[in-house]
Copies of this chain bind each other. A is one copy, B any other.
């Protein structure tokens, strides 16, 4: 019983720590949100067999960060997310007025992240912002499926 309690406490601690990390990333992201992002990369992902393809433009502040592994990895995962989950818009702001849809389903940034559905895509972008120390924006994406 003691052992079980210790385990439960440890789990609680981990959850708290994750929450603190998430809040820190969000705080860092918000601080940088107005900085202009003119650099970045174009990344593409072709699903096995070539039936689905996705391309994204992810921007940051400097060419230096655009060349880092953390940033390129983020771009790669975003292209995979687009290929797999088929978002319609980048963010809530892009949904035309009067259109009645669930933003969490159709907006890339609000979707659960495919590799960790407890986080949103915006959460993992915030984590990368905290890591690389620059503002990061997804400016556009495109998804092709054969015959669609």
Q: Could you give, for residues 38-61 of chain A, a 1 whenever the CB lies within 8 Å of some chain B CB and a 0 otherwise?
A: 111111111100111101010100
Stretch of A16-24, A92-100, A128-136, A138-146 with 4 or more beta carbons under 8 angstroms from chain B: A138-146
Task: Give the distance in Å from the alpha carbon of A50 to the alpha carbon of B146 in the complex.
Answer: 24
Q: Could you give, for residues 83-127 of chain A, a 1 whenever the CB lies within 8 Å of some chain B CB and a 0 otherwise?
A: 000000000000000000000000000000000000000000000
Given A59-B147, A144-B57, A144-B140, is A52 in contact with B42 using a C-beta cutoff of 8 Å? yes
Task: Give the distance in Å from the alpha carbon of A5 to the alpha carbon of B41 in the complex.
Answer: 55
Q: How many copies does the complex hold?
A: 2
Interface size class of A (residues with CB under 8 A): 20 to 34
A residues neighboring B (CB under 8 Å): 38-47, 50-53, 55, 57, 59, 66, 72, 75, 140, 142, 144-147
